[in-house]
C-alpha cells in the first residue's frame, strides 16, 4: 500500500531534498611537470645538514583548472603548484606578474596556490650565491612557462561541465602545538589528545556524459612528513594522495588545495624515509575516494518521494534532476592587520652578516624576506581572493591561517561550500589566534603580525562574504545574470 505524502506543519519545516553544492560552466584541466634539477639549492629546514637536493622521490607538478561561466569567456585560473613558500613578495610577483601578463588576466581571476611541501627547491632569488643557487632563477622561469602552457591547454580542452562538492573526514592531521616534555615552552610536535578539524572537501568535475575529468581535494595539514634529514625533492604526502585518487578516476588530474593548516600536521613527521610520506598520502587519498564514492551522480538530487507501508512505514526517496548554479564572480578583499614590533630590514641584514648558527640564520632569512616588502606603519594590508561559483566559494589567502578560521567561516555559511586555501598568491606568514600569543608558540614567535590578527582577518572575511555572495539561482531570479565586474575592497582592522 502506498500512501500519498501529506503536507503537515512538521513536513513544511523540513527541506526533503539533498543535493551537492555545485556550479555549471566550462571547465578545463591540464598538468605540467615542474621537477627541479638535482643539485638545486633546497635547504628548507634549519635542521638540514645538506644544501642541495641529492635526488627525486616523486616529481613536482603544476595542475591548472580553468573555470568559465557559460556566457562569459573570461576564465578564472586556479593553479596548484608543488612548491613550499615564497621568501619575499618580490619572488612571488616575479612569477605571478609574468603569468598575468602572458594570459592577459585581471588580477582577481588568478590564484596560484602552493601545496606547501617542505621538501622542494628554494624559490628565493636572493639565494643565488648559495650552493645550487644559480639554478633557482632559470627554474622559476620554467615554472612560469609551465603554468602558462598548462593554462592554455586547459582552456583549449575546456568543456561544459559540472563542479560539485562533498564533505568527508580524514584523521591524518593532528594538532601540532605541544608542551615541551624536556623543559619549558612549546614545541611543534603532536597532540593526539586534541580534537581537530578533520574536514575533507572533495570536488568532482564531470562532463556532460557524467565522466569525471578532474578532482579537487581540500584538506588542512602541513606537508612535513619529510624533515631536515631528507635530501630528496618530494611533494611529501601530496604525491601519493594524487596517485591513489587518479588511479581510481581513470587518470583524471587531481588538484590538492591545502586548507587552514597553521596548527595541523601529520602524526608521523620530520622523517627522512619517503615511504612514510607515501603512507600518509595513501591515507588521505583513500579518504578522498570514500568521499567521492558517497556522491550522488552529477546534476542530480535526492528527494523524498512517498511513504511505503511495510512492517514499518518506509520513507522512499528517489533521484531527480538538479540544475547547477551558473554564478561566476571574483574579487580581492584587502584586510588591514596589526604588525608586531620587529627589527628593520637593515638590522636583520646586520644580524645575518654575523650569524654563524645555521638554524638561526634560516629564521632570520625568512623574517627578512617577508618583512622587507611591508610598509612600516604599524599595520599592513593582506589580500584575500574570493571566488563564487554557484553555491561554492573559494577563499585564498597568502597567510598561513589556523584551522579555527575555516571552521568558523563554514559554520557561518552553511548554504555554501567554503574552500579555504593558505599560501595563495604569496606568503605573509602565520596569523595565529590571540589565545596563542601568551604561550609563545613557534607560529606566534615567527609571525610578523600582532595579537588579534587572526580575529581581524576572520571578521573581515565573514563581513565581506555576507556582502559578496549572491543568492543561489532558485532564490533570486537574476542570480544567473552576467557576472559583475571584479572588485577590490578594503577592510580596516579598526572596524572590528
Sketch the domain layout of the chain as residue ranges. 17-295+324-339+374-495
Confidence band of 1 (pLDDT split at 50, 70, 90): very low
pLDDT at 496: 32
Question: Which candidate, 435, 456, 446, 465, places its Cα nearest to that of 382?
Answer: 456
Instruction: Tell me what the mean pLDDT of segment 30-36 comes to.
Output: 98
Alpha helix positions (H), 272-337: 274-293
Degrees to nearest 5, angle at CA 425 with 170 and 160: 70
Backbone angles phi, psi at 436, to 5 degrees: -80, -20
pLDDT at 447: 92
Instruction: Tell me what the mean pLDDT of segment 202-210 comes to.
Output: 97
Q: What is the mean pLDDT of the chain?
A: 89
Instruction: Tell me what the mean pLDDT of segment 20-29 comes to.
Output: 96
3-state SS, residue 232 = strand
Q: Is the pTM of this model over 0.85?
A: yes
390 conformational bin, left if phi > 0, alpha if psi -120 to 50, beta if neither = left
Which residue's C-alpha cell is 603569468?
A: 99
The highest-confidence range among 69-73, 213-217, 318-322, 479-483, by mean pLDDT, is 213-217
pLDDT at 484: 39
Strand partners, 304: 317
Indicate if the pLDDT at residue 10 is higher than 50. no
Q: Are 419 and 394 in contact (CB under 8 A)?
A: yes
Instruction: Tell me what the mean pLDDT of segment 374-399 comes to.
Output: 89
Confidence band of 38 (pLDDT split at 50, 70, 90): very high
Buried b (16+ CB within 10 A) or exposed e, 292-327: beebeebbbbbbbeebeeeeeeeeeeeeeebebbbb
Confidence band of 16 (pLDDT split at 50, 70, 90): confident
As a whole number of angstroms, the distance between CA 479 and CA 467 comes to 14
Indicate if the pLDDT at residue 5 is higher than 60. no
> pLDDT tens for residues 433-461?
999 999 989 999 889 999 999 999 999 99
What count of Cα atoms within 13 Å lies in the side-chain half-sphere of residue 298? 19
Indicate if the pLDDT at residue 26 is higher than 50. yes
Which residue's C-alpha cell is 596556490?
A: 113
pLDDT at 494: 38
Q: Are 404 and 420 in contact (CB under 8 A)?
A: no
Instruction: Tell me what the mean pLDDT of segment 405-413 comes to.
Output: 97
Instruction: Tell me what the mean pLDDT of segment 140-164 comes to.
Output: 97
pLDDT at 480: 30
Q: For the chain, what percent of residues have pLDDT higher than 70?
A: 84
pLDDT at 354: 66
Q: Alpha-carbon torsion 447, 450, 455, 461, what sign?
A: negative
3-state SS, residue 191 = strand
Which residue's C-alpha cell is 643557487?
A: 133
DSSP 322: -
Kindly state the cell numbers that stand for 14.
Answer: 523540513
Kindly state the cell numbers that stand for 385.
Answer: 581572493
pLDDT at 145: 97
> pLDDT tens for residues 354-384?
666 666 666 656 665 555 555 556 789 999 9
Confidence band of 472 (pLDDT split at 50, 70, 90): low
pLDDT at 174: 97
Indicate if the pLDDT at residue 350 is higher than 70. no
DSSP 74: E
Indicate if the pLDDT at residue 482 is higher than 70. no
In sequence order, the 6+-apart residues with CB closer than 8 A to the CB of 311 are none
pLDDT at 360: 61
Amino acid at each position: 500500500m502506498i500512501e500519498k505524502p501529506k503536507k503537515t506543519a512538521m513536513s513544511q519545516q523540513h527541506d526533503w531534498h539533498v543535493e551537492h553544492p555545485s556550479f555549471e560552466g566550462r571547465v578545463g584541466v591540464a598538468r605540467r611537470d615542474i621537477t627541479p634539477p638535482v643539485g638545486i639549492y633546497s635547504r628548507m629546514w634549519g635542521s638540514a645538514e645538506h644544501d642541495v637536493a641529492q635526488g627525486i622521490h616523486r616529481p613536482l607538478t603544476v595542475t591548472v583548472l580553468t573555470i568559465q561561466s557559460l556566457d562569459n569567456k573570461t576564465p578564472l585560473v586556479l593553479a596548484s603548484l608543488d612548491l613550499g613558500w615564497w621568501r619575499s613578495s618580490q619572488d612571488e610577483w616575479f612569477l605571478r606578474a609574468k603569468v598575468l601578463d602572458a594570459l592577459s588576466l585581471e588580477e582577481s581571476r588568478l590564484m596560484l596556490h602552493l601545496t606547501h611541501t617542505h621538501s622542494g627547491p628554494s624559490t628565493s632569488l636572493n639565494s643565488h650565491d648559495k650552493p645550487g643557487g644559480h639554478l633557482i632563477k632559470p627554474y622559476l622561469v620554467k615554472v612560469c612557462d609551465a603554468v602558462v602552457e598548462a593554462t592554455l591547454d586547459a582552456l583549449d580542452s575546456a568543456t561544459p561541465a559540472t563542479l560539485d562538492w562533498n564533505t568527508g573526514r580524514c584523521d591524518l592531521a593532528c594538532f601540532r602545538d605541544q608542551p615541551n616534555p624536556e623543559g619549558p615552552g612549546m614545541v611543534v610536535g603532536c597532540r593526539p589528545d586534541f580534537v581537530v578539524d578533520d574536514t575533507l572537501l572533495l570536488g568532482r568535475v564531470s562532463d556532460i556524459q557524467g565522466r569525471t575529468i578532474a578532482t579537487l581535494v581540500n584538506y588542512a595539514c602541513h606537508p612535513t612528513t619529510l624533515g631536515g634529514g631528507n635530501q630528496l625533492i618530494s611533494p611529501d604526502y601530496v604525491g601519493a594522495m594524487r596517485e591513489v585518487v587518479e588511479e581510481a578516476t581513470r587518470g583524471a588530474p587531481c588538484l590538492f588545495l591545502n586548507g587552514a593548516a597553521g596548527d595541523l600536521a601529520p602524526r608521523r613527521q620530520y622523517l627522512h624515509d619517503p615511504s612514510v610520506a607515501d603512507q600518509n598520502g595513501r591515507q588521505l587519498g583513500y579518504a578522498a575516494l570514500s568521499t567521492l564514492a558517497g556522491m550522488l551522480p552529477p546534476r542530480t538530487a535526492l528527494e523524498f518521494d512517498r511513504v511505503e507501508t511495510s512492517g514499518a512505514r518506509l520513507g522512499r526517496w528517489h533521484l531527480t534532476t538538479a540544475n547547477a548554479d551558473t554564478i561566476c564572480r571574483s574579487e580581492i578583499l584587502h584586510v588591514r592587520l596589526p604588525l608586531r614590533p620587529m627589527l628593520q630590514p637593515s638590522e636583520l641584514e646586520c644580524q645575518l652578516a654575523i650569524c654563524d648558527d645555521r638554524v638561526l640564520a634560516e629564521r632570520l632569512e625568512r623574517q627578512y624576506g617577508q618583512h622587507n616588502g611591508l610598509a612600516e606603519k604599524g599595520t599592513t594590508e593582506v589580500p584575500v581572493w574570493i571566488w563564487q561559483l554557484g553555491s561554492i566559494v573559494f577563499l585564498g589567502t597568502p597567510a598561513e591561517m589556523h584551522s579555527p578560521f575555516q571552521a568558523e567561516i563554514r559554520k557561518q555559511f552553511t548554504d555554501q561550500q567554503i574552500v579555504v586555501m593558505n599560501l595563495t598568491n604569496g606568503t605573509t606568514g602565520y596569523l595565529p589566534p590571540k589565545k596563542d600569543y601568551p604561550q609563545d608558540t613557534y607560529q606566534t614567535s615567527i609571525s610578523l603580525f600582532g595579537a588579534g590578527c587572526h580575529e581581524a582577518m576572520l571578521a573581515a572575511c565573514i563581513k565581506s562574504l555576507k556582502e559578496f555572495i549572491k543568492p543561489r539561482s532558485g532564490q533570486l531570479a537574476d542570480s544567473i545574470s552576467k557576472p559583475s565586474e571584479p572588485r577590490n575592497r578594503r577592510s580596516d582592522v579598526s572596524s572590528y
